[in-house]
């Protein structure tokens, strides 16, 4: 056989193989990049809004449109809202549904019965789990590069904040509505540590979340008291403890820091803002 002819045929086969492979890759990419994303949880809302283009997001929860509770309210208001109902989800014709592991359980179950499997995300207990969840969400959305860019920015900020930590960690305690505090095994505990604070609740043996008496708050030797509340939120009995006269008196001998709940309700980039706020409080402590 004529050798040049054989070479030309081989080149033709190679080019055809490359073209076919390119078509396969393009098809796979299309599958990996869902075009109609519905989120059923405020925390998954935030990651979806940060990582996906708005025109690919079919719906987020109504909670994310309230700036008192959410960090991406401006972006969320441009997206149709849902209230976590199965009939709403079906109306958006999604090709991806993301949900929290502990919310909208009935809706997730009903969707599964009609063949729509929701991708569920848990609640990270530390920054390592938070970073892993960002990577997972970015992969699910078909946006691994954006995920890596977000993680790189988080690492940059953590390094900058670590450089500002004081030599002697200050003693601190968190007081949440209904008298709850946050102890060991929680993301909040690591946030305090990263900000250069010693979590008194962890020393007292509080695991994750638990109630604490005001007497303990007053006599625990805290140098900083972190009041975790929602600014401009509606009145509630749960929040009354945060405005107790004892708290006002404590302000005479320790630093009171108001930290908006939205900064650490969800494990996402906003927790860096919580660390930043606490670092500033430490720096300003007389």
Residue 22 covered by a domain: no
CA atoms of 151 and 130, how far apart (whole Å): 10
> Does 214 lie in the same domain as 107?
no
> Does 277 lie in the same domain as 179?
yes
> Does 227 lie in the same domain as 242?
yes
Residue 274 covered by a domain: yes
Which tokens in the block code for residue 145?
């590069």
> Does 79 lie in the same domain as 48?
yes
- How many domains does the chain fold into? 2
Q: Is the pLDDT of residue 268 over 80?
A: yes
Specify the CATH number for the domain of residue 65.
3.40.50.1980
Which pLDDT value is given to residue 7? Answer: 42
Which tokens in the block code for residue 152?
């790189």
Q: Is the pLDDT of residue 122 over 80?
A: yes
> Does 267 lie in the same domain as 181?
yes
Q: Is the pLDDT of residue 237 over 70?
A: no
Average pLDDT of the chain is 85
Which structural domain, as residue segments, surrounds residue 111? 37-158
> Does 171 lie in the same domain as 139?
no
Which tokens in the block code for residue 133?
């969840």
CA atoms of 133 and 206, how far apart (whole Å): 26
Residue 29 covered by a domain: no
Which tokens in the block code for residue 7?
């070479």
Q: Which of 105, 133, 158 is the last residue of a domain?
A: 158
> Does 218 lie in the same domain as 200?
yes
Section 70-75 average pLDDT: 96
- Paired strand residues for 81: 60
Residue 11, exposed/middle/buried by CB under 10 A (0-12, 13-18, 19+)?
exposed
Residue 199 covered by a domain: yes
Q: Which of 130, 158, 186 is the last residue of a domain?
A: 158
Q: Is the pLDDT of residue 23 over 60?
A: no
Which pLDDT value is given to residue 110? Answer: 95
pTM given for the model: 0.82
Q: Which of 158, 182, 203 is the last residue of a domain?
A: 158
Show the CA angle centred on residue 268, arms to residues 264 and 274, nearest 5°: 40
Residue 210 covered by a domain: yes
């Amino acid at each position: 056989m004529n050798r040049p002819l054989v070479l030309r045929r081989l080149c033709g086969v190679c080019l055809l193989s490359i073209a076919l492979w390119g078509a396969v890759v393009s098809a796979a990419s299309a599958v990996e990049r869902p075009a109609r994303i519905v989120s059923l949880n405020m925390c998954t809302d935030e990651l979806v809004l940060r990582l996906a283009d708005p025109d690919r997001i079919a719906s987020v929860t109504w909670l994310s449109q309230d700036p008192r509770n959410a960090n991406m309210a401006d972006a969320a208001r441009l997206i149709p809202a849902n209230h976590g109902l199965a009939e709403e989800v079906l109306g958006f014709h999604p090709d991806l549904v993301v949900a929290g592991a502990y919310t909208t359980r009935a809706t997730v179950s009903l969707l599964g019965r009609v063949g729509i499997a929701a991708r569920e995300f848990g609640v990270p207990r530390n920054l390592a789990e938070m970073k892993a969840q960002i990577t997972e969400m970015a992969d699910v959305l078909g946006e691994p590069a954006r995920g890596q860019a977000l993680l790189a920015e988080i690492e940059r900020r953590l390094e900058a904040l670590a450089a500002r930590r004081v030599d002697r960690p200050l003693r601190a305690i968190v007081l949440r509505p209904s008298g709850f505090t946050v102890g060991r095994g929680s993301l909040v505990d690591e946030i305090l540590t990263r900000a250069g604070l010693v979590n008194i609740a962890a020393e007292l043996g509080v695991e994750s979340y638990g109630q604490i008496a005001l007497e303990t708050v007053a006599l625990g030797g805290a140098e900083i008291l972190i009041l975790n509340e929602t600014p401009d939120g509606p009145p509630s009995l749960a929040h009354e403890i945060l405005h107790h006269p004892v708290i006002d008196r404590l302000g005479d001998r320790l630093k009171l820091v108001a930290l908006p709940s939205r900064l650490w309700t969800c494990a996402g980039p906003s927790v860096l803002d919580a660390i930043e706020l606490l670092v500033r409080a430490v720096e300003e402590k007389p």
